[in-house]
Amino acid sequence: MGLFKWFKPEDIQLESGSRFASYRLHELINSGGMAQLWLASNNKEETFALRIAHPDLSSVNRKRFIQGCEALSQIPAHPNLIRYIAHGKWERIPYLGMEYIEGANMRELFAAEDEILIEKIWDILFGCASALEHVHESGWLHLDYKPENIVISRGGHPKLIDFDLCVPKPEKPVELKPAGTPAYMAPEILLHKPADQRADIFAFGVIAYELFTHKRPFIGESSEEVLRKMLDERTGLVPPREYNPDVSKGLEKVLLKCLERNPDKRYPHMSVVIRDLQEAP
């Protein structure tokens, strides 16, 4: 049972023009399983994106929401990370204030076959890599690295969002409870084996593969089906050049190394991934 079942629907009314904490709500941008995202402004008429947790959120998800806010607040600012403004509680409802970006997430752009994914493909790729490198170097794992969590501005600038599953980066691999999207989760997490930053690097490989081929390397309706395809030595992974001959051999080599089933064969750090991407012809 959620912590806020004592709230009646009329207790908290979120609508355009109403106030929440020190913000005025203007437009509902999105509503997901964890929260609503509003376009809001403060008393100085500065515009922000305000993420407001659902009042009836379960205790587990409420804890994740708050942990995500605290993680983002502790990670230093970076051009490819959503900019943190503030977080707190109002009437016991957790919220997070962030910069507002005019754009769409990568999944929406894939669905729309938006030309910006072609025109700015290398800028997007390096921006995504740089964001993940910064998260790791700041001492965190993201663990929910997927197209839905990468917002791309109208100018083609990517920003990493949603830190609800973020955890401190361990000194050595530890078992992490599967909680993300199966198609972007590393095999070791799905197998309940110890994992570290290389799990995020696997997820980056999936996104990069999808960015250049518009296909996921492993497709399935469940985590079990995805895992079977990841581990199936008979079928293996289709090299991205078979889908897109414009992918260079150097880039293909980087993507396949990110997607190694065995984390010991994968890149150890995003800084090495970026180095090889820069050297890929």
Q: What is the DSSP letter of 234?
A: T
Strand partners for 158: 152
Q: What is the DSSP string of 70-86?
A: HHHHHSPP-TTBPPEEE
User: What is the Cα–Cα distance from 257 to 94, expressed in whole angstroms?
Assistant: 40
Q: What distances in angstroms separate CA 2 from CA 7, 30, 33, 54, one per listed residue? A: 10, 22, 13, 10
Element (H, E) at 150: strand 150-153
And the tokens for 6? 């004592």
Q: What is the DSSP letter of 37?
A: E
Measured on CA atoms in the order 187, 189, 190, 193, is the torsion positive or negative?
Answer: positive
Measured on CA atoms in the order 95, 99, 102, 106, is the torsion positive or negative?
Answer: negative
User: What is the Cα–Cα distance from 192 to 144, expressed in whole angstroms?
Assistant: 16
Q: What are the two backbone dihedrals, phi and then psi, of residue 46, each rounded to the nearest 5 degrees?
A: -85, 140
Catalytic residue among 11, 144, 164, 232: 144
The answer to whether 36 and 52 are in contact (CB under 8 A) is yes
Label the pairing between strands 35-41 and 23-31.
antiparallel
276 is catalytic: no
And the tokens for 143? 């663990």
And the tokens for 245? 């001959």
- Active-site positions read 144
